[in-house]
Structure 1
Amino acid sequence: MNLIAIIVAVYLAVMIGIGLYAKTRVKSSADYHLAGRRLGVMMMAGTLAATEIGGGSTVGVASKAYGDWGLSAGWYVVAAGIGILLVSFVAPAMRRSMAVTVPEVIGRRYGAASQSITAVLGSVALVALAAVQITATATIVSTLGGVNLEWAILATGVAVVIYTWIGGMWSVTLTDFVQFFLIVGGFAISVPIAMHNAGGWESIVSRLPEDQLGFTKIGIPTIIGLVILYFMTFSTGQEAVQRYYSARTPRVAVLGSLLCGGLMTLYAFIPAVLGLIALAVYPNIDENNALSTVAIGLLPPVVAGLLLSAVISATLSSASGNMLGSSTIFIKDLLPKLGGRVTEENELKFSRIGVLAVGVLATVISLWSQAIIPLLIFAFTMRSTGPFCAFIAGLIMRKTSRLAGLVSIIIGTVAGFVWQIAGEPLGIASIIFGSVCGVVSFWVIHVIDARRGRLVGDADGSAASAAAQRDEQTSEALQ
């Protein structure tokens, strides 16, 4: 086994070790799903950033920089950072809701049907997102170990399931915190070394197509569309929202979110530069292998091991968050409606079984479809177009139309699917088209019901409010 493989193997062993430690902190389902709602600012920012800097933001950006987007592929991550900054405005409302899942908030305001539809959309989308991260990790493992991609996918699926299954949100949060610093450090060290070994920046530029360095090559409309996409998907995505729910206080949720957005924006163009270096030195490789090829071919073994461990950190942390989020939604929002009797005593057991089932399903999807960014965007569209308006309105408005929520979820989702199947006419992204349809239908019905006096608040809003007040008082006392 070469030195690079040894470093990666040691990293994976450390992650599993952290998972075993996290297991000692899991005493209840609240610990497993929400880390006991005790995350501070640094832990909050670290776990958010590590979760959102995944396969699309590392392997995906490098491959797009190698291919059609050039340097402007970095906007994919800048847009994500801006999206997180925008979510900061609704972060306090998320934390004060005292919810565990996104569909729970939907259900309180709009009823069981809206909750079930949102739960199915969110859970399925998270399985697809986990599959993307498994694929991204497997491409590194395959290149590094010289093994078949399918075997690499199987090995990756097993590894991420183990440490997620063991410790839940505590495991995910602790590993994310370590992984975030490894991601930033690994990439920051790698760029100047790879650039030097490729002959310097001028030599690299001379071997690139002229338009590959265009800072906005992907186009301003695409950049704006990505910002909107990320704001929508982060504000409704269980893997992100679950972290806001886990913050110690609403203030911590805001500060952690702001710090995360800033850190992601600073990191954004690093993997794009590595993709350009790969194109200059290795012009005839598969674009999905751009990052791993640079690591193995242009970096010293120790640095290559750190970079590849950083990439695996990014992808595994995102996959674990997606798996936990999907399992949480299923246990909290779907299983009781399917006749399952979930109690405080058996919820932890069901949650771990859920993580295992989600991991198996995500691995199967990864074996079937090995796309990265296209599958990411599909999943984001599926879970966000319909529930977005209803969820945000339910968080920030005291009363809304119950019917408006249900209709907007259905219309937004169907419109997004149809628009995507139609090939996104006029160049308008399906997530934009679907969400506009959802927002318009929501407000039309909301205004009509407001005139008829049919607006309602949360079904158990007073209980949630009282719980939130008690929780904040406890947190302030601890501080």
Structure 2
Amino acid sequence: MNVTHIAVLVGYIVLMLAVGAWFGRAKATSSGEDFVLAGRSLPAPVLGGTMLATFVGSGSIIGAANFAYTYGLLPGFLFFSGTITGTILLVVFARRVRGLAGHTVPEIFDARYGKAVRVVATVMILFAFIGIAAYQFTGAGYILSLITPLEERTGSIIAAVLITFLALSGGLKSVAWTDFISALGIVLALWVSLFIVVGTDVGGLAPLTGVNAEAGTLGGLTALQMIGFILPVLVLLLGDQNMYQRLAAARSDRAALGGAMIFCLGSIIMIIPIVLLAVASAVLQPGIEADMAILSLAGSSFTPAVIGGALLAGAFALIITTGSSYLLTSSSNVVHDLVGQLRREKPSDRQNLWIGRVAVLGVAILGFVMVSFFPSVLALQMYAYTMYGVTITPVLIAGIFWKRANGAGALAAMVVGAVLTLFWEVTGRAEALNSVVIALPASVLALVLVSLLTPSRTTSVTA
């Protein structure tokens, strides 16, 4: 147990709680609009920071690090190629996305395809987002177990409570500002750690190129298997409700574009040290649990105590804020796409605020249960990204860019994508080939064929 690590982490937690309490004031968060969309008030730097911290959480610090540690340098960077491609496309479409985005993606589906598609899409999103929130609990539990005598399970419980508190307090206002602070902190900690670990402990970049080199260019993976790791991140990012909500929360079109550009640049700045540190860990610590590739560097003698503490606190920060973001966006689905559709009387803003907070608590509990069914953060990450990417993203992209797409095709795509993903996971086939390689083409094919074979819906979505 390192006192410096604990001091740095406690300082971070106190800061995050203070920010959450500040934005949780009645004056700061007084309506459902404030809770879900931050009153549409976010400036570009905060918008870019919250987009970055939301997307680069446990899946990157732990899941992607696991991948780079296991397969090597080139596969590690290829893993993130979907992220870079997705962020570039978000820059291109930022203003249009802001014009489309409301509280939730299923709202767009309602306007384009009808209420049945909206309800089914909500269920699919909850299946995926509960999974994404769940592995944030695990990731934060890893960090607490490194810093304190706590077991991982106990650490996960504490993390779940903190994540839930931040989401319950000030909604997107508190989440966005804590994201912004966390993004700055983790970028600094990652780069300082990189210079120390690679420059001093490893002795330069040359040893990194030899990690798993004997297994081939892709570290023993086939091209199809590599695609199976790239696609889930790309298809999630292109349709991620979190990204759409944040662009909708921008104070202007200019802020939306600026925020998307900061997100793109920030992703590149953060990906480089994540991959290099994970591969450096394979050189310095062969045979450790792959999920701990980067975290174990911070918790060992390879980094000075202050820098290690900052890296652990920064990673903890990203994980906490990512978890809060996915709890928050899931609650907006419950408020607007389930309760709002089932009740004859439209709830007031104040009622929506409290329904959202109850939903956050419910999703957190379900996420904590789900995490026990997957062997690693990377496995749960691939499932959750794929479930969203094959059921929501094709339908969303088609709704925006293909006028012939209709409700029947949308429903067919979501059902086919979800069934194939679940079948692939339950039968263990995902261990050899990620389900996205099968489920995504099948989902797109179902969307196209059923839309062409059934009457079209004339409603279109424009921005």
Quote the residue 2:56 is aligned against. 53
**Whole-Å Cα distance in 2 between the matches of residues 71 and 147 of structure 1?**
35
Alignment of 1:6-405 (within 5 A): 6-24=7-25, 25-70=28-73, 72-198=75-201, 200-201=203-204, 208-211=211-214, 221-222=224-225, 224-297=227-300, 298-339=302-343, 342-367=347-372, 369=374, 371-397=376-402, 400-405=405-410
Distance 1:47 1:82 in 2: 19
In the aligned structure 1, how far is the partner of 2:183 from the partner of 2:229? 23
How many residue pairs get matched?
458
Corresponding residue SS for 1:345: helix
Equivalent residues of 2:91, 2:264 under 8 A apart: no
Counterpart amino acid of residue 130 in structure 1: A
Contact 1:99 1:105 in 2 (8 A): yes
**Runs of at least 4 residues of structure 1 off by over 6 A?**
425-428
Range moving further from structure 2, 52-61 or 6-15: 52-61
The answer to whether the 8 A contact 2:193-2:303 is kept is yes
Q: Deviations over 1:43-90 (max 9, x none)?
A: 221111111111121122333333234553233234212222223344
Q: Distance in 1 between matches of 2:404 and 2:40?
A: 27
* Distance in 1, Cα, partners of 2:430 & 2:372: 30
Provide the rounded CA distance (Å) in 2 between the counterparts of 1:194 and 1:93: 42
SS at match of 1:67: helix
| 1:240 positional shift | 2.2
1:313: Cα distance to partner? 1.5
- TM-score, normalised to structure 1, is 0.87
C-alpha distance in structure 1 between counterparts of 2:287 and 2:101, whole Å: 52
Q: For residue 440 of structure 1, what is the aligned residue in structure 2?
A: 445
**CA distance in structure 2 between the partners assigned to 1:427 and 1:364 by the alignment:** 25
Q: TM-score, normalised by structure 2?
A: 0.89
**Per-residue deviation, 1:442:** 2.3
Please give the per-residue CA displacement for 1:150-180, whole angstroms capped at 9, x wherever unaligned.
1111111111111121010001100111111
Separation in 2, partners of 1:223, 1:279: 20
Percent of pairs with identical residues: 23
Pair 1:63–1:230, CA change in 2 (3 A): closer
CA distance 1:409–1:224, change in 2 (3 Å): same
Structure 2 CA distance for aligned equivalents of residues 369 and 426 of structure 1: 11
The answer (yes or no) to whether the contact 2:63–2:381 under 8 Å persists in 1 is no
**How far apart are residue 141 of structure 1 and its match?**
0.9
Give the CA deviation at 1:188.
Answer: 0.3
Question: Which deviates further from its counterpart, 72-81 or 304-313?
Answer: 72-81
Unaligned runs of 5+ in 1: 469-479
Q: Quick check: 1:124–1:326 contact (8 Å CA) kept in 2?
A: no
Q: Which amino acid aligns with 1:457?
A: T
Contact 2:34 / 2:173 at 8 angstroms: preserved in 1?
yes
Q: Is the 8 A contact 1:187 1:271 kept in 2?
A: yes
Q: Does residue 455 of structure 1 match 2:457?
A: yes
CA displacement at 1:203 relative to structure 2: 8.8
Change in Cα spacing, 1:112 to 1:291, as seen in structure 2 (3 Å) is same
Shift of 1:195: 2.9
Deviations 1:356-409 (A, max 9, x none): 222222223335546211111111121221232221222345674332222222
Query: For structure 1, which segment, 152-161 or 229-238, has the greater mean C-alpha deviation from structure 2 after superposition?
Result: 229-238
398-407 or 171-180: bigger deviation:
398-407
User: Deviations for 1:238-283, whole angstroms, at most 9, x for unmatched residues?
Assistant: 2222212212334433332233123212321312222233233322
Provide Cα deviations, 1:329-367, integer angstroms capped at 9, x if missing partner: 111111234558632231111111111222222223335
Asked if the contact 2:73/2:208 (under 8 Å) is kept, the reply is no
Greater CA drift, 199-208 or 72-81: 199-208
1:475 alignment partner in structure 2 = none
Greater Cα shift, 49-58 or 241-250: 241-250
Residues 38 and 213 of structure 1: is their aligned pair in 2 closer, same or farther, counting only changes over 3 Å?
Answer: farther
Q: Which residue type is aligned with residue 316 of structure 1?
A: I
In the TM superposition, residue 218 of structure 1 has moved relative to its aligned partner by 5.0
What residue identity is the alignment partner of 1:54? G
Greater CA deviation, 391-400 or 316-325?
A: 391-400
